[in-house]
Amino acid sequence: MYQLKKCALCGTETELELSHIVPKMVMRALKKTAVGNIRNMDNPNVPAQDSEKHHMLCASCEDLFSEKETYFANTLFHPYQKKERIQFDYDSRLHYFLTSLSWRSLYLDLLDFTGNHVVGLDAFEHLISCEWNMREYLLNKRSDIGTIEHHIFFFEKIKEISGNTEVTWVRPHATFHRGIQSYTFCYEDDRTYGTITNMMGIMLITLYSKGSRENWDRTQIVNGNGRIEAKDQHITSVVGNEFTNILKTAQEASDSMSDKQKEKIIENLKAKAGQVKNYPIFQDWISDRELDKD
């Protein structure tokens, strides 16, 4: 956990609040609909209680973000998770919220990158300037974020997976719909840099730089009024690799789970056997099995 001294957004030296990277309500929704305990992929043997959080923002900057977060929760997140709607009309508050989310994740990843030299100079400089632009926008000092693009990709039921046939996707429905992740990726050969956040199948991908082979159809969130639909979305992107990485990490985590933990899960499922079909993950298991058959 990072322990910052100054507010990451406004720079004020004051008591900082514990900020969640992925909003708390996503974790709450995951817990509420879970069959058993929620597990953290970094340590599958200990049930996770909460999503990643850091002392990062002052109280007034937290307030600045929370109104837009509520807007996102009510306009998109909950209606989608409850399967009430697949079409969402939005205003500029959505763009602001998505910026605040990717910015938090990027800010912390840049602290990591600085210490560990994991990205090249071009990527690093570009990400730093994007972090700055986003911060100025979040502080209402500018009205746009330049060429940075936000995309929302809804992980709907997939019937087939095209592309890299060497990679087998293990349990994609259960993994994406029951997952919460956020991190920054860099494909330096393509010059595609971005932050990916999975909120239980609602994938936010913020592109700081977009290589020439990138093709995103019906996914972009504009800075203003617009409409997004959870259907007919198509992506041709290096981000496909990140989807594969998330699945691989989940598989490794489940492989490394101790026998005792596995036993606990099976016992829990047996105890709930009659009701398990009422949980959202049931449909994901079915979808994953249908995918395996082909």
Q: Which residue ranges make up the site for Zn ion (CB under 5 A)?
A: 7, 9-10, 58, 61
Least distance CB 258 / Zn ion (angstroms): 42
Q: Indicate the residue among 62 and 190 with the shorter CB distance to Zn ion.
A: 62
CA distance to 30, 44, 163, 173, 185, per residue, from 38 (Å): 8, 9, 31, 16, 25
How far the first Cα of the chain sits from its last, in Å, is 43
Least distance CB 17 / Zn ion (angstroms): 9
Q: Indicate the residue among 14 and 258 with the shorter CB distance to Zn ion.
A: 14
Q: Indicate the residue among 62 and 188 with the shorter CB distance to Zn ion.
A: 62
Q: Indicate the residue among 9 and 180 with the shorter CB distance to Zn ion.
A: 9
Q: Indicate the residue among 61 and 145 with the shorter CB distance to Zn ion.
A: 61
CA 10 to chain centre: 24
Q: Indicate the residue among 4 and 161 with the shorter CB distance to Zn ion.
A: 4
Q: Which of these, 150, 156, 28, 178, lies nearest to 80 by C-alpha position?
A: 156
Least distance CB 59 / Zn ion (angstroms): 8
140 in the Ramachandran plot: left (φ > 0), alpha (ψ -120 to 50) or beta?
A: left
Least distance CB 10 / Zn ion (angstroms): 3
CA angle 16, 20, 26 (to 5 degrees): 155
DSSP string over 22-80 = S-HHHHHHHHHT-SS--EETTEEEEE--S--EEEEE-HHHHHHHHHHHHHHIIIIIHHH
Least distance CB 14 / Zn ion (angstroms): 8
Residue 278 is classified by DSSP as G
Strand partners, 88: 228
Least distance CB 37 / Zn ion (angstroms): 34
